[in-house]
Amino acid sequence: MLITSLLRPDLVLADLAVQLKDDVLDALAVQVGRVHPHVDAQMLADALRDRERQSSTALEHGVALPHARLGGVLEAPLAALARTAGGIPCGAVDGHPTRLFLLLVVPAEQPGGHLRMLANAARLLSDARCRSRLLEAPTATELLAAFREHEERGVAGLRAA
């Protein structure tokens, strides 16, 4: 499953103006709840915070992959994407502030897909060209298009290998 198949422009927050990681998690949870009314935004935000307390989901190069498993409310995975202008300290290994947040939410009953999606997201966002295009895209629609292009190119490359 392509991560970008779970995204659409109203799940992309291209200019999120917040200063704290918890505010990013709240904004992503609220947006998911708006687009997917069967998801309780507060329950999702709490699950994301619980996961962050275990260990930071911030990776290197200004990228974080906040994620959670929700039981009993999802039939399929969900995703959302946020970008901040200046970056937010999130405890990344390299010490850099985080600017790109890719949220992944999966049914608790399907843990295997969760790990594959996280691995694919990490691989994709480790590509400097992909990150650069995501940071430079002026709108949510263009940000999503750039992400989709890189994801499809990566999948095609894996099939060819």
Question: At 99, which CATH number?
Answer: 3.40.930.10
CB 107 within 8 A of CB 70: yes
Ordered per-residue pLDDT tens for the chain, 161 residues:
789 999 999 999 999 999 999 999 999 999 999 999 999 999 999 999 999 999 999 999 999 999 999 988 888 899 999 999 889 999 998 999 999 999 999 998 876 777 888 888 999 999 999 999 999 999 999 999 999 999 988 766 656 55
Task: Please state the domain count of the chain.
Answer: 1
Read out DSSP for 21-77?
HHHHHHHHHHHHHHHSTTS-HHHHHHHHHHHHHHS--B-STTEE--EEEESSS-SS-
pTM beyond 0.85: the answer is yes
Give residue 38's domain range: 3-160
